[in-house]
Structure 1
């Protein structure tokens, strides 16, 4: 890891985000990035989407929503997706992105961030635990709801 920084998702970086590779087995836990980018168009006030760059190379993507008026508490401050290119996993890119997310949540007056994910082999459970998320419940579909306090 050399010099990580965040930048807003843009037309200049979205192609690189869509081209990021995954490790075998991870694809079942990830919806296409284009699903998440629609949120910015639908509600730019609450949507937060950033790319992680190492120098000038896109190595990660993180998307969240911060909406204190959202009727469902679990969606008021929520991490929707985090992707790190397969070749860059294990170098601290994901941790860097989550730390930036926590700072953004704090700046917006939130006291926690939720994440909802499907558990399973090659799934994101271990990563979320390592960066500080703790399970707090389950959705009606059996997905894990975890939170990190900010």
Structure 2
């Protein structure tokens, strides 16, 4: 894991990102990768998408939006997606990705970063709690809105 680094999503990494695997039960908590990637096409000025590499191998993907014009406060600085390949989960890759995203948010002068997730046994709730996110609200669809104060 000492060889982890982030690179921007690109034509050379997008296929590997699309092929990241999930553990059984996780698929219900994750929208298709193309949903997250479309954010960069629709609004590239606010989109932040990075691929996590372990050496030359794609092992994860993290996406965020920094949009001060967003109608909801929790969409102004928000984790849109984090995905670590099933075979690489538990190695600190997700922590590395979120810590890198939080560093980016600090560099942009953000005061907090939000994440929105569904509760569930195989879901990401425990991970986000370990990363310092605390539930602060609920969306109109019943999803949890959690914040990490920087």
Q: What range describes the TM-score normalised by the shorter chain of this pair? A: over 0.9
Aligned to 1:11: 11
Distance 2:87 2:131 in 1: 19
Matches within 5 A, 1:30-49: 30-49=30-49
Aligned to 1:81: 81
Distance 1:129 1:102 in 2: 14
Aligned to 2:63: 63
SS in 2 for 1:68: coil
Aligned to 1:105: 105
5+ residue gaps, structure 1: none
Cα displacement (A) at 1:43: 0.8
Aligned length: 150
Distance 1:142 1:70 in 2: 20
Output the aligned Cα RMSD.
0.7
5+ residue gaps, structure 2: none
Cα displacement (A) at 1:74: 1.1
Cα displacement (A) at 1:131: 1.1
Q: Which runs of 4+ in 1 moved over 2 A?
A: none
Distance 1:121 1:20 in 2: 21
TM-score scaled by structure 1? 0.98
Distance 2:119 2:98 in 1: 19
TM-score scaled by structure 2? 0.98
Distance 2:138 2:107 in 1: 27
Cα displacement (A) at 1:71: 2.1
Distance 1:140 1:19 in 2: 31
Cα displacement (A) at 1:140: 1.4
Aligned to 1:122: 122
